[in-house]
Amino acid sequence: MLSAKMEDYLKAIYELQRESDGPVATSHIAELLDVTPPTATSMMEKLADRELVEREKYKGVRLTPEGETVALEVVRHHRLLETYLTEELGYDWAEVHDEADRLEHHISEEFERRVAEVLDDPAVDPHGDPIPTDALDPVDESPGSTLEECAEGDTVVVQRVSDRDPEELAYLDDAGITPGTTLVVEEVAPIGMVTAALGETGETVSLPDGVAGTIFVTHADDSLEPAEGAV
């Protein structure tokens, strides 16, 4: 049986793998989990011994198929819990990440099934991230383009928003920027600021590059209807 800490590492590797095509550096894992690089290296050795990761010397690690399955189950728990907390218990989307982190290792498969049933098997969580099915098949985690990468005049639809910073999520919520929101990019300033107008109201909001880089979008002409379950 794996410890909650081991599952945290596997989930972290899974999340970092979606941002890179290559192996995940141990230093990046340590940074994400707020541990020292030697601590992360020690855990990678343990996970490799259990054949949950493959290590490439001087490059990093990748999840094995078994490691990916474990990570997908934890991710499914996490994203279902985020959705349940938001839709059924009235939590703000900026609050649910840490709460789900605490609960994701401790729910039974029966509890997971009942949560999914109550929510009518949602496809995405409140931040637009896809929820793996109960079959734990790989899901499309490709992040796509960010608002930071858009050009002036582009019309885009928000698909996903990073859930790592509660303060940024609260700010975006106040500004009306959630999955499904249409934005028209009005200005990309050289000082590192993106100004966009909300499609429904025309109100404008200016975002630093660091925040715009956490908002994943598709161009309006290419996007599908917002995924069911998005905020």
Per-residue pLDDT reduced to its tens digit, 56-79: 988 999 999 999 999 999 999 999
CA distance 31 to 162: 16
Range picked from 42-46, 138-142, 199-203 for highest mean pLDDT = 42-46
Per-residue pLDDT reduced to its tens digit, 158-176: 999 998 889 999 999 999 9
The chain-wide mean pLDDT, for the chain, equals: 92
Per-residue pLDDT reduced to its tens digit, 11-60: 999 999 987 778 999 999 999 999 999 999 999 999 999 999 999 988 99
How much is the pLDDT for 19? Answer: 79
How much is the pLDDT for 18? Answer: 84
- CB under 8 Å, gap of 24 or more: what pairs does 91-96 form? 92/170, 92/173, 93/126, 93/127, 93/163, 93/169, 93/173, 93/178, 93/231, 94/166, 94/167, 94/169, 94/170, 94/173, 95/166, 96/126, 96/163
Of residues 88, 214, 98, the one with CA closest to residue 160: 214
How much is the pLDDT for 225? Answer: 46
Q: All domains of the chain, ordered by start, with CATH?
A: 4-63 (1.10.10.10), 145-219 (2.30.30.90)
pTM score: 0.88
Per-residue pLDDT reduced to its tens digit, 102-130: 999 999 999 999 999 999 999 999 999 99
In the predicted model, is pLDDT for residue 205 greater than 90?
yes
Q: Which of 87-91, 201-205, 224-228 has the lowest mean pLDDT?
A: 224-228
Question: What count of other Cβ atoms lies within 10 Å of the Cβ of residue 209?
Answer: 17
How much is the pLDDT for 111? Answer: 97
CA distance 24 to 16: 7
Question: What count of other Cβ atoms lies within 10 Å of the Cβ of residue 97?
Answer: 21
CA distance 70 to 98: 20
Given its phi and psi angles, is residue 117 left (phi above 0), alpha (psi -120 to 50 degrees) or beta?
alpha
How much is the pLDDT for 229? Answer: 43
In the predicted model, is pLDDT for residue 222 greater than 90?
no
